[in-house]
Amino acid sequence: MKINYKEKSTVEIINFYNSKNISVNNIDKIYVGFKVFLFLKMYYLKIKTNEGEVLSFKFDKKNKDRIKKDVSKIRAIINWEKRLINN
pLDDT in tens, 63-77: 889 999 989 988 888
Residues of the chain with pLDDT under 50: none
Do residues 49 and 55 lie in contact, with contact meaning Cβ atoms separated by under 8 Å? Answer: yes
Q: What is the pLDDT of residue 48?
A: 92
Q: What is the pLDDT of residue 63?
A: 87
Q: What is the pTM of this model?
A: 0.80
Q: What is the pLDDT of residue 46?
A: 92
Phi, psi of 65 (to 5 degrees): -65, -40
> How far apart (Å, rounded) are the C-alpha atoms in residues 72 and 55?
17
Q: What is the pLDDT of residue 87?
A: 61
